[in-house]
Amino acid sequence: MVNLNLEFLNEKLEYVKDEVNGLILKNGEKMYEGIFEYIDELVNDKKWWSERYDEVVNDIDFDDDEEFRLMVLDDDFDRELMRRYGKKFYDNLISLGYNYDEELEGWDLKNSEGMELSSYGVIWEYWYDLDTDVRESVSEIWEDSFI
């Protein structure tokens, strides 16, 4: 098992929890019910972190560029959280009365302009801030969890 930079992990954890707390204030607790348990589970999954870090070290040839490796792990955290929490997030939205139309590939959940959203749009409007490429993959991972 690798010795992962704990400062990085604590900063990521603090960032995500702060973002989610802001989303809860804005959109209500029920939408994000259970998320903190999933975050804690992922943060404490030493096996996942070790395996993923080893993959990053072995797959990325950047002359021991630890900063770049941590950036990759940061994005991987976001994707893995959705792999674990995606179905629950979907269930939360359904329990709030929102519906996904598979044929139209969209939700009756609306953005701030009143337009119905795709899964990507839901992640854009109702998830914590992500880089564009990560947001795209997170929305695909999420959609795969319930389709």
What confidence tens digit (pLDDT) does each residue in 36-85 have? 999 999 999 989 988 988 888 787 666 667 788 888 889 999 999 999 99
Q: How many CB atoms lie within 10 A of CB 1?
A: 10
Hey, is 106 helix, strand or coil? Answer: strand
> Quick check: 120 pLDDT over 50?
yes
Tell me the CA distances in angstroms from 45 to 49, 52, 115, one per residue in order.
6, 11, 38
> Quick check: 8 pLDDT over 90?
no
> Quick check: 1 pLDDT over 50?
no
